[in-house]
Structure 1
Amino acid sequence: MTGHVSGPAAGRFGNRRSIRLKGYDYTQPGAYFVTICTQDRQCLFGEVVEGGMLLNDAGNIVETEWRSLPQRFPGIQTDAFVVMPNHIHGVILVGARFIAPMRVNPGTINRNEGTINRNEGTINRNEGAINRNEGAINRNEGAINRAPTLGDIVRAFKAVTSRRIRQQGSTAFAWQRNYYEHIIRNEQTLVRVREYIANNPRQWALDSENPAVGSRWMAPGSGER
């Protein structure tokens, strides 16, 4: 089943699919625009103040754990990312070859387009790293003894953040069971995704994830395993 996008994201990146695109290999090199929401769209990560996101303790945990994903999963990179009051948007690069490093000035993208190519062998060179460190990395999430899929990465992120947020006092915290993703197929789309993520706090009053705006879609029945 698919989660339909309306509101600001509609028409820009297409409909984001829930969990997995049937037949698509999520371990292959690629870039993915991911959205993960809190259960019932509860606003638990802070608030938007004058067009910027002011994170609380839970929001800081989410931001910290997202930025640490490349340490948990050698061979992946994180790109543009934002924590919103009740959801996150982020880009995950899994050995992607066409993606240029993110810069404040989009005009620098082409000048740096070779960076990822120089490191395109990262996954293969480090394919044993997950196994060597699985005891330290995945004590509570289960061992990853193969190339991680996008689903593996999201599940680990949700498990670690949920545990830490509950430990700091929000014992009922939970993420929405599903997540939504869009496969980024070229640099033009990546640039638009980065702009959308950067502008998200300023668009909060119109954001379809904002409970004050209204429901965007019902969560699909098929859930994350």
Structure 2
Amino acid sequence: MKYDPDNHHRRSIRLKGYDYTSAGMYFITICTYQRECLFGEIVDGEMQLNELGQVVAGVYLWLATQYSYVHLNAWIVMPNHLHGILVLTDDPRRGVSRNAPTEDATTRKSLGRLVGAFKTVSTKRINLIRDTSGSVVWQRNYYEHIIRNEKSLHDIRRYVHHNPISWQQDQLRPDNPSR
């Protein structure tokens, strides 16, 4: 089907006017393309990562080593998605690796660009393992929620922690009949 800008336009789901480079806590969910279960399986209520899931976990951890203003809070890799709380700070960590670039206001990545970096690096590594150069791994967009208070942070942490236990009812599970 030929692209028609009058019919094929994407509406942003981001908060209009919000600065996503600003310090704050953000709950993100990133799903695989067509919600394909690539990263392992849930066994007895616990996520068991396979090789691709370990790649995803490693690249997510890489974000905090690559960007000194990024801190990771609760997170989990699920069979077909990742949930995480990314904390962007104004004060970079002390003792950052000499290999990590220094950031200023002009080089600081927005939340969307951080998610983009995660998707790019993890996709390249996954496709290298699968010998599927150029294959799509992730859905085009991602879900985000700005965490505004301690109660919300507590509730989201609990949700992330209990996500494997509730996999059978998870809306992101491809064979969930309630979808």
Bin the TM-score by the shorter chain. 0.7 to 0.9
CA contact (8 A) 1:79 1:91 kept: yes
Identity %: 43
- Number of equivalenced pairs: 162
Secondary structure in 2 aligned to 1:54? strand
Match of 2:144 among 159, 181, 187: 181
Q: In proportion to residue count, which structure has more helix? A: 1
Q: 1:182-206: CA deviations, max 9, x gaps? A: 0000111101100000000000000
CA distance in 2, matches of 1:38, 1:29: 27
- Which residue, 38, 42, 64 being the options, matches 1:44? 38
| Displacement of 1:122 | 2.3
**Inter-partner Cα distance in structure 2 for 1:151 and 1:52:** 29
Map of 1:27-66 to 2, 5 A cutoff? 27-66=21-60
Question: Which of residues 115, 119, 136 is equivalent to 1:158?
Answer: 119
Give the one of 91, 95, 98 matched to 1:121: 91
Code of the aligned partner of 1:151: G
What's the CA shift for 1:76?
A: 1.2
Matched position secondary structure for 1:68: helix
Residue 159 of structure 1 and its aligned partner are, at CA, apart by 0.2
Give yes or no for the alignment of 1:200 onto 2:170.
no
Determine the C-alpha separation between the residues in 1 that align with 2:76 and 2:32: 14
Structure 1 partner of 2:6 = none
* Runs of at least 5 residues in structure 1 that lack an aligned partner in the other structure: 3-16, 96-119, 132-143, 217-225
Segments of 5+ residues of structure 2 without an aligned counterpart are 1-9
Root mean square deviation of aligned Cα = 2.2
CA distance in 2, matches of 1:180, 1:170: 29
In 1, Cα distance between equivalents of 2:157 and 2:91: 25
Q: For each residue in 1:37-71, what CA deviation from the matched residue of structure 2 results, as whole angstroms up to 9, or x when unmatched? A: 00000000000000000111100000011112111
Closer, same or farther: CA 45–170 of 1 in aligned 2, 3 Å: farther
Instruction: List structure 1 runs of 4+ shifted beyond 2 angstroms.
Output: 120-123
Q: Secondary structure of 1:36's partner?
A: strand
Structure 1 length as normaliser, TM-score? 0.67
The structure-2 alpha-carbon separation of the partners of 1:211 and 1:148, relative to structure 1 and needing over 3 Å to count, comes to same
**Which of residues 57, 81, 88 in structure 2 aligns to 1:87?**
81
